[in-house]
Every structure is written in structure tokens, then in C-alpha cells.
Structure 1
């Protein structure tokens, strides 16, 4: 299982536009092969900062999504709304 977190800082006046993009694409992302979960988080103190939290079967599944037509529509539209460069992390659970 791969955990992917992407932190995005938007121009404050563009947050509604981003939320519309997310609303229109979240179900299609969730339906993508290998995707088990996608949710949107908002920073508690910076309302124009959002993160996506997603769970994937593997890095290969995530990369297949990143190479898909859907990602090719969603990401370029989202990137135009940024106020800062996005940050992304990939994790796996550790059993201790």
C-alpha cells in the first residue's frame, strides 16, 4: 500500500476554482485502477492550503494514474491556480 500526500498552496482568489476541479474529478480518481481512497484536507490556519491524501495499491498504480488522460486534464488545470510550488510525499506503513 502506498500513501501519497500532495500539499498545494493556491492563490486565495483561486481556491473555489480548485474546489470545483476536485469535486468534478474525485470520483473518477477514486475509480482509477489501484486507487483505494482519495480525500481532500484543508490547512487549519491557512485556508488556501490544501492537501490530497490518497491510498494506492502500489507505486506502479500511482504512476499509471499520473500518466493517464484523467491526470493530464486535472493537473494542468490545477497547476495554473498555485501560489507556490506543490510538495508531494510517498509513504508506506511500517508495522512495528
Structure 2
């Protein structure tokens, strides 16, 4: 099992657009084979901090997701509204 934590910081005046794009991405991704969880969180103290927490059956499933039509179409649009590059960590389950 693979976990991904991807943290982004959105431009404050673009939060509505960012959340709309993420809604589309989440809806399509949850239908992908190998996707166990795909959830978007917003920081309690700083609403511009948006974090995606993902769970995948395998590295292969994650790799397929990163190449999917909806990911390659939507993520570049999201990136235009961010103030920093995505801080993404991929974890393998130990216990």
C-alpha cells in the first residue's frame, strides 16, 4: 500500500477556483482502479493550505493515476493558482 501527502498553498484570491478544480479531480480519481482513498483537506488556521491525502493499492496504480487524462489536464490548471511548488511525499506502509 502507498500513501501520498501532497501539500499546496493557493493564492488567496483563487481559492474558489482551486477548490472547484480539485472537486473535479477528486471525483474522477476516486473511480480509478487501485485508488483506495483520495481526500482533500484545508488547513484550519490557513485556508490557503490545501493538502491531498491519497491511498493507493500499489506504486503502479499511483503511476497510472499520474499519467491519467484528468490528472494531466486538471493539475496544470491548479498549479497556476498556487504560490509554491507542491510538496509531495510518497510513503510505503511498514506496519
Runs of 4+ in 1 over 6 A off after TM superposition: none
5+ residue gaps in structure 2?
none
Aligned to 1:69: 69
Superposition TM-score, scaled by structure 1 size = 0.93
Which secondary structure state, in structure 2, belongs to the residue aligned with residue 84 of structure 1? Answer: coil
Partners in 1 of 2:77 and 2:68 — Cα distance?
Answer: 15
**Pair 1:45-2:48 in alignment:** no
Equivalent positions of 1:17-96 (< 5 A) are: 17-95=17-95
Q: Over aligned residues, Cα RMSD in angstroms?
A: 1.0
Partners in 2 of 1:51 and 1:7 — Cα distance?
Answer: 4
5+ residue gaps in structure 1?
none
Superposition TM-score, scaled by structure 2 size = 0.93
Which secondary structure state, in structure 2, belongs to the residue aligned with residue 50 of structure 1? Answer: strand
Partners in 2 of 1:89 and 1:32 — Cα distance?
Answer: 20
